[in-house]
A and B are shown apart, each in its own frame.
Chain A
Amino acid sequence: MTTLFEIETLSIAFSKRTVVHDISLTLERGEALGVVGESGCGKSVTFLASLGLLPDKAKATGRVRLAGEDILNAPAAALERIRGRHIAMIFQDPSSALNPVLRIGSQLSEALSLHRGLSGQAARHEARRLLDDVGIPDAANRLNAYPHELSGGQNQRVMIAMALAGEPDMLIADEPTTALDATVQAQILELIDKIRRDRGMAVVLVSHDLGAIASVCERVAVMYAGRIVEMNTTDAIFDDHRHPYTRGLLSALPELAGPKRRLVPIRGSVPEPWNLPQGCAFQARCDSASARCHQALPELVPVGDIGQCVACHHPLLGATMDDRYVA
């Protein structure tokens, strides 16, 4: 596999308050990476900044490369060529991402003309094919519908169709199913999974829901307070997680099967970005914290032999989901 997308020591600051610190990650062609974390951990901002989608007061430093080309803070013209054509993005709320006064067909055609130079009948034809691909029934007639005439799940399918219009190499899906009902959520995740396999497209799934990530992704990055604290395979995140925060997340989740147990919340709350302690940001909520955690910031370093990385002075060893009750 070859590297498609690479983030290197990316930091992002809003009005001089740093919210993302030194993030590095890579994405191979065709790979699906999950990014999990609680609200405010910087998971969305990381990718918005990569695509130059943050307001001017946000300052991003570091490097973001797409197929070797540096795209962070690239000029607008260069970014326009990349957005949609090479990297597409879909968001949580599809109905606010679509234009309410334009028909689905013309919004799709617009994307097709922009990215692929199609117009007229050819664009309409392609738009219909895309709607078919994303599983919208009666696609020919749906081209004439307005977003409000479609359900939330169907609008998200339209957003995915628009994302596919430029035949991108990579799709960033930011909480794509959070606003949807359970049965529809499963349909959309399945669609993303299928499209990815059919087209060999790389996927970044940003979500607070480890279950959703597990059903689509091979690797997971766990973010906490603006840093990646663990990078692991999806299987191992449940059966061999290394960071106490990952264990905390898993212990806090109720389950649908097996014996009921009392949930183990992570005590306290996430520190404010402008109020981070010296050393590890998780120290105040961590059971393994030592004097060292209060002084030195743990770096994200490789552990084990399957490419796991953890940023912790006291990483867990062989921690599986089944013994988390004692966390």
Chain B
Amino acid sequence: MTDFKQASPALLAVDRVRKRYFARAGFLSEPKPVDAVVDVSFTVARGETLGIVGESGCGKSTTGRLALGLEAPDGGSVRFDGEHLPKQGSPAWRAMRRRIQLVFQDPLAALDRRLPIAVQIRESLDIHAMGDPKARDERVMSLLTAVGLTKDHAARYPHELSGGQRQRVVIARALATGPDLLVCDEPVAALDVSIQAQVVNLLMDLQAELGLAMIFISHDLKVVRQVSHRVAVMYLGTLVEEADADVIFKDPRHPYTQALVSSSPTPRQKMKSRLLLTGEPPDPAARPSGCPFHPRCPKVMAMCQTVTPTMREITPHHYLACHLNEPASLESMAS
């Protein structure tokens, strides 16, 4: 594995960002603060893929939006290529957005049903005034080829394509402006297994070819392990563990990561050997005191209820936010 931390300075540096939303519980009640993201820090180097895993509502998508500058953080900072992200909507922000692109889960929702796909891919080139019209057309065709589509697809509308082909179009459009960073939010969650593998391979190939940095947000541990160099695990708005992809799934140290790894269904693994959590992911509007995971943690101690653990480096490049540092019991892990 390439050591990105030393090879190059971070392309994206996210430092203790926070994001708070206000949500009404009912029609007449006062809006209550919901801390979606709390003191999250990470970096992504050029050519590196950072996977972010966690369950729904853990703040992983909000983290992605903060990294893109689609949301302004309430605290902390996001720096891209050494510079602070410009204010959202400003000309400087627009210019910068050329370099950071986004791929969403549902390609049909991300595409305009009334426009042929070539027009949609070309649109971002038009917006950013890149190249002359002829060069733009050529660029669209080369992008189509790069994502495994053909010239014949150019004039088609989204509904004339399969789910996997649509996601290829979305990826081609994201790549049109030659971005340095690609944020993928559940890009393969809506796809069937055989198609999912096509898109995963495509993203990995493009990343290696173009030297892209990538943030890959997903709830699917297996896909994340496949595409990521490093993986960060999120729980209730905070990062609880971060390490190289090979390390984090082989030797998870946070009890939550251990439970996630253990509950991911694996062929040949029978139910009895699972490490099952009790309870459900808590409501971000009612954060527990101390460690956010303590109400569900099988190894909870007295101090966990009051003292919030912070990320520390337990072995080189392996970070953990837990008062303990214990390996998972053997039988609960996939062999």
Contacts and interface: CB of A to CB of B under 8 A. Distances in A.
A153 interface: yes
A248 B249 contact: no
Contacts of B226: 254, 260, 263
A263 B263 contact: no
A107 interface: no
Interface in A34-73: 38-39
Contact of B259 (A183, A210, A214, A263): A183
Nearest to B164: A269
B27 to A, nearest CB: 13
A24 interface: no
A215 B55 contact: no
A183 B281 contact: yes
Contacts of B335: 257
A238 B274 contact: no
Interface string A231-250: 00001001000000000111
Which of A153, A263, A270 lies at the interface centre, i.e. has the most chain B CB atoms within 10 A of its CB? A263
B266 A256 contact: yes
A152 to B, nearest CB: 8
A184 interface: yes
Contact of B276 (A153, A186, A248): A186
Interface string B273-317: 010110011000000000000000000000000000000000000
A187 B281 contact: no
Given A181-B56, A257-B249, A263 B200 contact: yes
B274 A256 contact: no
How many interface residues does chain B have, given as a range? Answer: 35 or more
Contacts of A302: none
B266 A187 contact: no
A60 B320 CA distance: 56
A248 B197 CA distance: 10
A4 interface: no
Given A193-B271, A256-B249, A269-B164, A182 B221 contact: yes
B269 interface: yes
A255 interface: yes
A252 B193 contact: yes
Nearest to A177: B265
A153 B280 contact: yes
A253 B193 contact: yes
A266 B266 CA distance: 21
Contact of B195 (A183, A253, A255, A265): A265
Interface string A144-177: 0000000101100000000000000000000000
Given A238-B268, A252-B193, A252-B194, A263 B201 contact: yes
B142 interface: no
A154 B280 contact: yes
Contacts, number: 127
Nearest to A237: B267
Interface string A183-225: 1111101100100000000000000111110111000000000
Interface residues of A, number: 44
B261 A256 contact: yes
B136 interface: no
B267 A208 contact: no
A45 B93 CA distance: 49
Nearest to A39: B192
A256 B334 contact: yes
A16 interface: no
A190 B276 contact: yes
A262 B201 contact: yes
A265 B334 contact: no
B260 A182 contact: yes
B16 interface: no
A188 B124 CA distance: 44
Nearest to A211: B265
Contact of B265 (A209, A269, A321): A209
Interface string A255-277: 11100101111100110000000
A184 B278 CA distance: 9
A191 to B, nearest CB: 10
B218 to A, nearest CB: 11
B276 A252 contact: no
A212 B220 CA distance: 13
Contacts of A183: 55, 259-260, 263, 276-277, 280-281
Ranked nearest first, the 7 interchain pairs of A and B with the lowest CB-CB distance are A211-B265, A186-B263, A181-B55, A265-B197, A252-B197, A266-B194, A254-B226
28 contacts: A38-B192, A151-B281, A154-B280, A182-B219, A182-B221, A182-B263, A183-B259, A183-B260, A186-B276, A189-B271, A209-B265, A210-B267, A211-B267, A214-B265, A235-B268, A249-B193, A249-B194, A251-B197, A252-B194, A252-B197, A253-B222, A256-B249, A263-B200, A265-B195, A265-B198, A265-B201, A266-B197, A269-B162
